[in-house]
Structure 1
Amino acid sequence: MKLVIFGLTITSSWGNGHATTYRGLVRELERRGHQVTFFERQAPWYAANRDLPAPPYCRTILYDSIDDCFATYAYEIAGADWVIIGSYVPDGIEAGERVTGLKGVPVAFYDIDTPVTLANLAAGTCQYLRPELIPRYQLYLSFTGGPTLREIEDRYGAPAARPLYCSVDPELHYPDPEAEPRWDLGYLGTYSPDRQPPLERLLCAPARDWPQGRFVVAGPQYPTAISWPRNTHRIEHLAPREHRGFYCSQRFTLNVTRAEMVRAGYSPSVRLFEAAACAVPVISDRWEGLESFFAPGNELLVADGPADVLRYLRDLPETARRELGEKARARVLSSHTAAHRAAELEEYLIRAAFSY
């Protein structure tokens, strides 16, 4: 198939989880024989932090405005077998209006931020999607599964809402048997106000209660006013190529989920899969549907508070810790790689094309 994707970014991983998702997915689509053109709106913050300016597995087009984009590339867009528009795309509403108006071109919406999108739709504040557009998308692909899919169909009239979860690139994330853990517990994620309270509860509080422990938080945009524990190291930003080394330098890694994702459930984070692919044991907050991706207590540990975290860090035998990480890695490789997602997407597109 000839696929056109309008996404937030594929060239820069700075401050977002979209780029790594698209990179793995598009690369695997190309390996399956599909031709992908990726349209990305120019943004100064991404232009200054492009860690993959020219992905080798797709044609990447940077545009300044939707008007310029369609004026220059209308023929190519109209000739696609499918057009996919992602969440948080600047001018995503106008792009959706134009593409769904093309005759003979099926269109899908790929929501990498589903609970946030639905909350903003309900509040009338969504900048990249309108309720009236949803029935015009033949497929609504969602990072969130479970009951949310039925809501998208029943409340908003989507013809077909299907899960297309985040995934991991096993070519970038794998164990390092030579690595010596520098930290007892680490966390990787961009600052978010709703993620900060659980981060305080599940990392900062244990760090303060265990001065001998070693902790680390990596990610951009954290306010300077945050008071980190003295035994917690801060790293401002890590490019995707540095994620593996970061995970492999931890005894355990922490997964913290945004509040909207916790309320919706069935919303795994890409960091969850990345750490597990490196065979690093994950300590996660609790949310509905978690057991659909990993078996709690067997492939992953769940913490409700600081005492749970400290018990895992200080009391779990080393052999049990390693076994937990290996089981998580096996689960990821069997179900949650970019290759799995590309195959799932291909099947969705083929099935939906028959009913278009």
Structure 2
Amino acid sequence: MRVAFYGSSLLSSYWNGAATYYRGVLSALAASGHQITFYEPDAFDRQSHRDIEPPNYASVVVYPATEEGVRRVVAEASSADVVVKASGVGVFDDTLLAGVMTAARPSAVRIFWDVDAPATLAEIAGAVDHPIRRALPGLDAVLTYGGGRPVIDAYSALGAKACLPIYNGLDPATHHPVPANPALAADLLFLGNRLPDRERRVEHFFLAPAEAMPDRSFLLVGSGWGDKRISTNVRLFGHAGTGQHNVLNSSALAVLNVARDSMASVGFSPATRVFEAAGAGACLITDYWEGIELFLRPDEEVLVARDDADVIRHLSELTPSRARQIGERALARVLSDHTYRQRAALVETFLADASARRRAMVVL
């Protein structure tokens, strides 16, 4: 199938947490023979912070973040068998959604792919005339980055014909164990940009333990942390492209995952960092969120912390041997159960069924 995908960016992870998710799912779909065109705006300085050049699994169209640029790419939706508008493009989101779904031909499968369902649902719940709510009746489905049953039920109540979570996963060709770099060694690594709905939790689960453990080393990676008050045992790394993630994850004793507020409250939304760290064979400590046991077994494949005291306890008890054992088990689990090829298989099954229904409707 020819897929037209309108998202934030495939080429750059700069202020774009969905990048590795898009890459994993779309590369796996392309491997099954689908032809993908990814449309991304030239916005937020992302094009000057590319992690990758245009890949062989997708044609990438970078368009000006202007009304004329949007009009041009919207028109191209008419040639696709599947039209996907992702949430969080960042510019002209409402115009893109209405435009590409209107431009799609009658037989095309129409999808809204929500990469931040808890935040989207909070935004549209009380807005009966919200563009997303207006679009739902004409869509074949909402696919989501995660959220489990709470998100499925919420979208169904708003009128979605179907809601299918497609969780983050592992692309083993991209994220895998590499030799540690002693210059990047730390007892605990946190990799994530400074975001308003995550900062409080980073303070609680990362910065507070660092302050309480002055004899241990902590590495904070990501954009926006430069003016944050931190203890002297915390080193700042700045933005790290996806090509640096393996060595960062492989060099720390443990890697911390901290969910954003909305993701933690809804649950069933493992971040990309969970699978990237596990894919590198790292020992992962994650803050608690509902459904973690569906992805990794607590105390065997992941360490779970409900508060800063748990993080301190885990680090105090963790030996290099124990960390290595947890990381090896996590790697085996994600390779067995949580690859993007497996995620893409779910998408393919849905697309085949939805396409058949669309064709039948056109014939009638």
Question: If the length of structure 2 is used for normalisation, what is the TM-score?
Answer: 0.91
* Equivalent position of 1:109 in the other structure: 112
- What do residues 28-78 of structure 1 show as CA deviations (whole Å, max 9, x unaligned)? 22211111011111215112212324222211111224544544673x421
Counterpart contact for 1:202–1:309, Cα < 8 Å:
yes
Q: Pick from 321, 341, 349 the counterpart of residue 347 of structure 1.
A: 349
SS of corresponding position for 2:135: helix
Counterpart contact for 1:117–1:126, Cα < 8 Å:
no
- Structure 2 unaligned residues grouped into runs of 5+: 359-364
* Equivalent position of 1:55 in the other structure: 55
Superposed counterparts of 1:60-139, under 5 Å:
60-64=60-64, 65=66, 67-71=68-72, 74=75, 76-89=76-89, 90-101=91-102, 102=104, 103-122=106-125, 124=127, 129-139=131-141
Q: CA deviation at 1:178?
A: 5.3
Q: Pick from 279, 282, 292 the counterpart of residue 290 of structure 1.
A: 292
Superposed counterparts of 1:1-356, under 5 Å:
1-64=1-64, 65=66, 67-71=68-72, 74=75, 76-89=76-89, 90-101=91-102, 102=104, 103-122=106-125, 124=127, 129-177=131-179, 179-180=181-182, 182-222=185-225, 224=227, 226-356=228-358
Counterpart residue type for residue 119 of structure 1 = A
Over 3 Å counting, the alpha-carbon distance change for 1:125 and 1:315 in structure 2 is farther
Over 3 Å counting, the alpha-carbon distance change for 1:52 and 1:227 in structure 2 is same
SS of corresponding position for 1:244: helix
- Structure 1 unaligned residues grouped into runs of 5+: none
SS of corresponding position for 2:341: helix
In 2, the alpha carbon distance for the partners of 1:98 and 1:208 equals 50
Q: CA deviation at 1:201?
A: 1.8
Runs of 4 or more above 3 Å deviation: 65-73, 123-127, 177-181
- What do residues 113-159 of structure 1 show as CA deviations (whole Å, max 9, x unaligned)? 111111111354999x5211122210100112322333344321111
Question: If the length of structure 1 is used for normalisation, what is the TM-score?
Answer: 0.93
Over 3 Å counting, the alpha-carbon distance change for 1:138 and 1:61 in structure 2 is same
Counterpart residue type for residue 350 of structure 2 = Y
Count of residue pairs brought into register by the alignment: 353
In 1, the alpha carbon distance for the partners of 2:133 and 2:20 equals 28
In 1, the alpha carbon distance for the partners of 2:205 and 2:167 equals 25
